């Protein structure tokens, strides 16, 4: 009996110092047309893939948050880096104040704010020439702490599935 109590006490002590694991990451959305995947946070629900198969929008019930994931062809720009720069400029032209931006030849991400709204966008070049995948999260400033934590897990989950 003493051994059981000692083991129980030890187990409780260890569990008190164990790290709290994040909530379930969510379901994986895979896009067959462009060959990419993204782990969607479990509080977001998809509304069906677009008719042309390029992506899907996800919404958080009861919150003004939208996650869009899509793939595309690099057209109108010479390469992925130029497309990413052009896309950031489009957000500036639409009145978004870019507050953070990182671009490389194969991936880019930026965040911006406008009128109580926040956006975060990530783009990656896909395997094979001329294709990319992206996701964009738009949400309320009031939800920033919660959504920013989701983005920390979401950003690295965007990946090519056909390399």
Domains of the chain: 24-160 (3.40.1000.10)
DSSP E strands, 115-158: 117-125, 131-140
Please list the pLDDT of the chain residue by residue as tens digits (163 residues). 443 333 333 343 333 333 333 334 579 999 999 999 999 999 999 989 999 999 999 999 889 999 999 999 999 999 999 999 999 999 999 999 999 999 999 999 999 999 999 999 999 999 977 999 999 999 999 999 999 999 999 999 999 998 8
pTM: 0.81
Sheet holding 66-73, edge to edge: 44-49, 55-60, 66-73, 131-140, 117-125, 107-114, 97-103
């Amino acid at each position: 009996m003493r051994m059981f109590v000692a083991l129980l006490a030890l187990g409780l002590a260890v569990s008190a110092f164990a790290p709290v694991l994040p909530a379930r990451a969510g379901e994986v959305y895979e896009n067959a047309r462009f060959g990419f995947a993204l782990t969607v946070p479990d509080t977001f629900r998809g509304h069906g893939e677009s008719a042309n198969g390029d992506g899907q929008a996800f919404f958080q019930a009861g919150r003004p948050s939208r996650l869009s994931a899509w793939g595309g062809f690099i057209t109108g720009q010479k390469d992925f880096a130029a497309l990413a720069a052009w896309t950031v400029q489009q957000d500036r032209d639409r009145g978004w104040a870019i507050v953070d931006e990182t671009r490389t030849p194969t991936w880019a991400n930026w965040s911006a704010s406008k009128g109580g709204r926040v956006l975060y966008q990530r783009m990656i070049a896909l395997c094979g020439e001329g294709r990319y995948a992206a996701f964009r999260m738009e949400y309320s400033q009031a939800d920033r702490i919660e959504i920013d934590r989701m983005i920390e897990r979401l950003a690295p989950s965007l990946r090519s599935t056909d390399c």
